[in-house]
Structure 1
Amino acid sequence: MTTDGSGRVGPRSLLVLVAGVTLVLDQATKVWALAALTPGQPVDVIGSAIRLNLVRNPGAAFSVGDRATWVLTLVSLAILVGVLVAARRVRNRPWALTLGLLLGGAVGNLVDRFARSPGPGRGHVVDFIDYFGWFVGNVADIAIVAAAGVVMLLAHRGVPLAAREPVVGAQEQPDG
């Protein structure tokens, strides 16, 4: 892992670290949910507001696109490529953290799409956190939604993805 000179983890290393931790947490909680929960038998966590409810989701949020899982896989792969391209330019910690969450969440759900039945590219995502009976998600979804919120905040505040590159041979002009 590289540091930024101050002993802190550099932005790219932070991005990779956050993505890795997010992916591991997502997959570990899905393995736990598959072992501990029974489909159709929700377990109340905070009354009936937040429940553990195991479902296998062929679609996206709110089961959108549940008959076009392969299309969602292609869209997820395109987003993954976009994040990887942006990751090459990241130079600050807020963007690194945000892109790490997005990357880890996207890869977490893509692992399900490729590794779970009914088959590669069409696999159903393991969801188990039921929010108010409105939708059921997982740790990857939490990371993706959190990242989307932070992206909006960073964009609104005008925080650049990358620091400006110095112009080779340019000299500062004195104020005056």
Structure 2
Amino acid sequence: MIEAGTAGSLPRPRIAMGLAAALVCILLDQASKWWILEVVMQPPRVIEVTSFFNLVLAWNRGVSFSLFYSHHDAMPWVLSALALGIVAYLLNWLRRAERAWTALALGLVIGGALGNVIDRVRFQAVVDFLDVHAAGWHWPAFNVADAGICVGVAMLVLDGLFVRPEKS
């Protein structure tokens, strides 16, 4: 019999943390998109919030930064299937995560990916509305799911660069 905390046991608290982060990311993403679509962008317009930040309404039919942008009817399903495949891989990684930092990072990426899949299924495009700009240059519009993905990936990169594995 394997005791809790030994090498063969699942780090269940890490899984729960990652799944909770994913759920929070999905809920914040979908709530913010509902608010933008149903309340703020009636009618659609550009709302200047600060000198470097606007609220806009953009429909992204591609992936990050509109890569693979296409009006082809199958593209939302292809991109959703690809995202779900990546989520399956990340869930397996989460199952093996030993550190809370890693579980949190994976949860953010999983939640962000699923938030955007929900949009592709509902609207055949992803709702983007956050517009950051400076000196006439605009970062591509993004959403809470995209922010979750970016923060999660940055955390994983930092983890890989600066956290030393424990020696057995």
| Length-normalised TM-score, structure 1 | 0.77
Q: Which has the larger radius of gyration?
A: 1
The question of 1:112 aligning with 2:119 is answered yes
Q: 1:103 to 1:54 in 2, by over 3 A?
A: same
By how many angstroms is 1:11 displaced? 1.1
The one-letter code of the counterpart of 1:91 is E
Q: Which residue of 2 aligns with 1:60?
A: 63
Q: How many residues align?
A: 149
- Alignment counterpart, residue 134 of structure 1, candidates 129, 134, 139: 139
Report runs of 4+ in structure 1 exceeding 3 Å deviation.
68-71
Choose the corresponding residue for 1:15, options 11, 15, 18: 18
1:32 equivalent to 2:35? Answer yes
Instruction: Report the identity percentage.
Output: 34
Output the amino acid matched with 1:79: I
**1:150 is aligned to 2:168:** no
Q: How does 1:160-175 map to 2 (within 5 A)?
A: none
Q: Secondary structure at the match of 1:88?
A: helix
Distance 1:104 1:61 in 2: 15
Question: Following TM superposition, by how much is the alpha carbon of 1:134 offset from its aligned partner in structure 2, in angstroms?
Answer: 2.4
Which residue is 2:9 aligned to? none
Pick from 48, 53, 75: which aligns with 1:50? 53
Deviations 1:28-52 (A, max 9, x none): 00000001115751101122x2110
Maintained 8 Å contact 2:77/2:121: no
Structure 2 residue aligned with 1:124? 125
Once residues 159 and 26 of structure 1 are traced to their aligned partners in structure 2, the CA distance between those partners, rounded to angstroms, is: 33
Give the drift of 1:92.
1.5
Q: Is the contact between residue 76 and residue 121 of structure 2 (CA under 8 Å) also seen in structure 1? A: no
Take 1:17 and 1:111, find their aligned partners in 2: how far apart are those partners?
18
User: Any conservation in 2 of the 1:22–1:105 contact (CA below 8 Å)?
Assistant: yes
In structure 2, how many angstroms separate the alpha carbons of the residues matched to 1:62 and 1:39?
A: 24
Distance of 1:148 and 1:157 partners within structure 2 = 14
Give the direction of change, closer, same or farther, for the CA distance of 1:32–1:156 in structure 2 (3 Å limit). Answer: same
Gaps of 5+ in 1: 117-122, 167-176
Structure 2 residue aligned with 1:174:
none
